[in-house]
Structure 1
Amino acid sequence: MPHSDPALDELERYVPAVAEPEDFDQFWRSTLAEAATRPVLVDVRPEPTDLRLLDSWDVTFAGFGGDPVRAWYTRPAGVSGPLPAVVEYAGYGRGRGLPHERLTWPVAGYAHLLMDNRGQAGLYGAGDTADPHGRLGGPWPATWGILDPHHYHYRRLITDAVRAVEVVRALPGVDAGRVAVLGNSQGGGIALAVAGLVDDLAAVLVTAPFLCDVQRAVTLSDVSPYGEIGRYLAVHREAEGAVRRTLSYVDGVTFARRATAPAHFGIGLRDTVCPPSTGFAAYNQYGAATGRPVPPPREMHVYPFNGHEGGEAVHVRRQLRWLAARLGPTDTASRG
């Protein structure tokens, strides 16, 4: 069923009062503090590929609970760096795939870390990171552990994502002061969460973000992933209060309010997966809770006739140009 969203001029003014738990900040401080008790970098191994212009490594790092999380680290071959880095988060149901599947950012001259999604691979793409924790709740990742924020799948995935920023800064040839995070759909929602939890990022790039204004989103979209939450509640009617409480700890609007990095957004106005109003809710409140007199720079690109695919290659070109202006040149002069 198509969503029902306001016109663009109303979306540009849409500032919903998103439920924010009183212990939201403490919840995430304690979660990340527990993760930080373990060294982040577990293993780095060169990954043979047939790409002569790029070098890749198979990275394992300690995520939530110390669980091993896999990632691909890829950079221009023969460049000693240090390079600005891009940490990318994959969409729902996807894994990291193979190292040659996502080449835009390393080909553009960046060090690129692509994080695997724990437990999610197999729906749209391959991956090899398990989620060994209990899956009480519905049968889909969006509903695993949904009755308690401490057990929710996205607590684990967001923690992994923060740790991914830490690990890229620990890798050789990375300029730790020039690290950006980005993602589309679920990856966009995860990038927003990281932007709200890590206060020294250089930039954040978000398209069609999932998990924003999530209480409203589950009433607007019947398709996955929001539809999975709705289908769970259609059976477990008594669970609505607990589910809404859990979702309030992972809402991208609440994270966006705390973000300090410059931000680049993209949204298709015909998106029925992540309704446009939910992304605008995050954009319109981005940086609002930082206490700064002027919020961090942000810009929005709207695609009136596109859905969840957004602006595709046109939007990626805009991202490339915007990020280059923010992070400065890559060090291709050091190529051997």
Structure 2
Amino acid sequence: MPSADLPLEECRAFRPDLPLPGGFDAFWAGTLGEAPHDGAPDKPRYKEVDCGLPRIRTYDVSIPGYAGRPVRGWLHMPTGATEPLGCVVEFLGYGRGRGLPHEELMWACAGYAHLVMDTRGQGWSAAAGVTPDTDPGAAGAVPGFLTRGIESPETHYYRRVFTDAVRFVEAMRVHPEVDPARIVVTGVSQGGGIALAVAGLVPGLAGVMPDVPFLCHIARGARIAGLPPYTEIASYLRLHHGRTEQVFRTLSYFDAAHHATRATAPALFSIAMADEICPPSTCFTAYHRYAGRKELRVYEFNGHEGGGAHHRAEQLAWVRDLFAP
């Protein structure tokens, strides 16, 4: 496969000037400090479901997210735990919903609580229950999510998604069966970008594991990626001439490479050098800017699938060591 981006050695040296947008910290402090709308649920709700798996307890979760509106998820917990559990909070790839309750069980099988967040508007399984995105701001957007509410940071889609993700972590911090000092966030692609954003917005996490992260150095991704979702931005700008500066200003508030500069938890990154969806130079931008202790696994000949099952084994070992007494 031809190189999708810069060669590995150039990516290792790639440190572009990427200034923070004005009022970045104040914007996010204000967003996360907003009170829920009237009538919104005030606390997480957990309903146990029978998946036919006697060693795993599974709960259908509804957690108040952005503006207090309920966001769905699955919480998996190993049976028989006698002490508070370490917890992995997982965010999903672009276009994925939480799916069915028995799909994602690795972390619970390893002995941890595992919370999977449905991504608003992206769910596919009506039977499993989905989280709609009913907020304003989709007018003029091209198909997809990157340009939804692109007119300003206040209306952009990922303002709502990042807030949902923070609320999911906060819910686990007060769950009686979870150790609040042992919470790790993770995700692949879009989920990796969300995990990086949460690491920058929530102090005191135990760790973060972003795999082939999306939403990093978005302006570069929009200009060089050959496949969606970054191409949604180019599609929008082909229709809306003269809005380039406005579009990239809005997106800069959701760029995980900026949030990485605020993150201090230990991190395990993965980057794939043949990735045409999340070009490796964009992922390296976030890695280089990450402010905490960090490790990196590079998959030189892999595309957006990254390290796959091999990297899951790396993650299992990394979390085991992270949570060791």
**TM bin (shorter chain):** over 0.9
The Cα shift of 1:300 comes to: 0.5
Asked if structure 1 preserves the Cα contact closer than 8 Å seen for 2:36 and 2:67, the reply is: no
Matches within 5 A, 1:1-336: 5-35=5-35, 41-122=43-124, 128-134=130-136, 135-136=138-139, 137-287=141-291, 296-328=292-324
Output the aligned Cα RMSD.
2.0
In 2, Cα distance between equivalents of 1:213 and 1:19: 11
Q: Deviations over 1:169-219 (max 9, x none)?
A: 222310011000000000000000000001100000011100001111100
In 2, Cα distance between equivalents of 1:122 and 1:70: 13
Q: Deviations over 1:57-91 (max 9, x none)?
A: 11111100111101111111122330000000001
Q: Deviations over 1:8-66 (max 9, x none)?
A: 11211211111411200000000000157987523211111111110011111110011
Q: Deviations over 1:259-309 (max 9, x none)?
A: 01000000110000000000100001110xxxxxxxx22111001110000
Aligned residue pair count: 320
Q: TM-score, normalised by structure 2?
A: 0.94
Deviates more, 1:228-237 or 1:195-204: 228-237
Aligned amino acid, residue 67 of structure 1: R
Distance of aligned partners of 1:322 and 1:126 in 2 relative to their CA distance in 1, 3 Å threshold = same
In 2, Cα distance between equivalents of 1:283 and 1:245: 21
Distance of aligned partners of 1:40 and 1:212 in 2 relative to their CA distance in 1, 3 Å threshold = farther
Distance of aligned partners of 1:127 and 1:17 in 2 relative to their CA distance in 1, 3 Å threshold = farther
Q: TM-score, normalised by structure 1?
A: 0.91
- Give ranges in structure 1 of 5+ residues lacking alignment: 288-295, 330-336
In 2, Cα distance between equivalents of 1:57 and 1:71: 8
